[in-house]
Amino acid sequence: PGYVDTGMLDAAAQEVAGKTGRDPGDIREGLAAANPGGRLVQPDEVAAAVSYLASAQASAVSGVVLPVAGGEV
Protein backbone atom coordinates (compact mmCIF):
# COMPACT_ATOMS: atom_id res chain seq x y z
CA PRO A 1 0.00 0.00 0.00
CA GLY A 2 0.87 3.64 -0.07
CA TYR A 3 1.61 5.58 3.10
CA VAL A 4 -0.79 4.20 5.70
CA ASP A 5 -1.77 6.23 8.77
CA THR A 6 -0.34 3.89 11.42
CA GLY A 7 2.07 3.89 14.33
CA MET A 8 4.74 2.63 11.95
CA LEU A 9 4.37 5.79 9.85
CA ASP A 10 4.52 7.89 13.02
CA ALA A 11 7.77 6.16 14.02
CA ALA A 12 9.24 6.74 10.55
CA ALA A 13 8.25 10.41 10.67
CA GLN A 14 9.91 10.71 14.09
CA GLU A 15 13.08 9.10 12.75
CA VAL A 16 13.21 11.43 9.75
CA ALA A 17 12.51 14.37 12.04
CA GLY A 18 15.40 13.34 14.28
CA LYS A 19 17.76 13.26 11.32
CA THR A 20 16.55 16.41 9.58
CA GLY A 21 15.27 18.64 12.36
CA ARG A 22 11.86 18.85 10.67
CA ASP A 23 8.61 18.56 12.57
CA PRO A 24 7.08 15.04 12.41
CA GLY A 25 3.65 16.55 11.73
CA ASP A 26 5.04 18.45 8.76
CA ILE A 27 6.54 15.23 7.42
CA ARG A 28 3.18 13.45 7.68
CA GLU A 29 1.41 16.40 6.05
CA GLY A 30 3.96 16.36 3.23
CA LEU A 31 3.35 12.67 2.58
CA ALA A 32 -0.41 13.25 2.53
CA ALA A 33 -0.08 16.25 0.23
CA ALA A 34 2.10 14.28 -2.20
CA ASN A 35 -0.66 11.68 -2.56
CA PRO A 36 -3.12 12.42 -5.39
CA GLY A 37 -5.95 11.81 -2.92
CA GLY A 38 -4.45 14.47 -0.65
CA ARG A 39 -4.47 12.19 2.39
CA LEU A 40 -2.90 9.13 3.97
CA VAL A 41 -4.41 5.71 3.37
CA GLN A 42 -6.36 4.45 6.40
CA PRO A 43 -5.72 0.96 7.84
CA ASP A 44 -9.36 -0.04 7.33
CA GLU A 45 -8.98 0.65 3.60
CA VAL A 46 -6.11 -1.84 3.40
CA ALA A 47 -8.11 -4.32 5.47
CA ALA A 48 -11.10 -3.99 3.13
CA ALA A 49 -8.95 -4.81 0.11
CA VAL A 50 -7.43 -7.83 1.86
CA SER A 51 -10.87 -8.97 3.01
CA TYR A 52 -12.19 -8.78 -0.54
CA LEU A 53 -9.25 -10.69 -2.00
CA ALA A 54 -9.65 -13.40 0.65
CA SER A 55 -13.40 -13.70 0.04
CA ALA A 56 -15.38 -15.98 -2.24
CA GLN A 57 -16.34 -12.88 -4.25
CA ALA A 58 -12.75 -12.71 -5.49
CA SER A 59 -12.51 -16.41 -6.37
CA ALA A 60 -11.92 -15.59 -10.05
CA VAL A 61 -9.37 -12.87 -9.33
CA SER A 62 -5.80 -14.01 -9.84
CA GLY A 63 -2.48 -12.54 -10.83
CA VAL A 64 -3.38 -8.91 -10.27
CA VAL A 65 -1.78 -6.08 -8.38
CA LEU A 66 -4.30 -4.13 -6.32
CA PRO A 67 -2.70 -0.87 -5.20
CA VAL A 68 -4.25 0.57 -2.08
CA ALA A 69 -2.45 3.86 -2.30
CA GLY A 70 -4.96 6.67 -2.82
CA GLY A 71 -3.89 7.20 -6.41
CA GLU A 72 -0.16 7.07 -5.72
CA VAL A 73 1.80 5.34 -8.45
Cα separation, 50 vs 4, in Å, equals 14
Cβ proximity of 60 and 49 under 8 Å:
no
Q: Summarize pLDDT for 18-70 with one digit per residue, the tens.
A: 999 999 999 999 999 999 999 999 999 999 999 999 999 999 999 889 999 99
| Gap between the Cα atoms of 57 and 61, Å rounded | 9
pTM of the model: 0.85
DSSP the chain: ---B-SHHHHHHHHHHHHHH---HHHHHHHHHHHSTTSSPBPHHHHHHHHHHHTSGGGTT--S-----STT--
> 72: pLDDT confidence band, cut at 50, 70 and 90?
confident
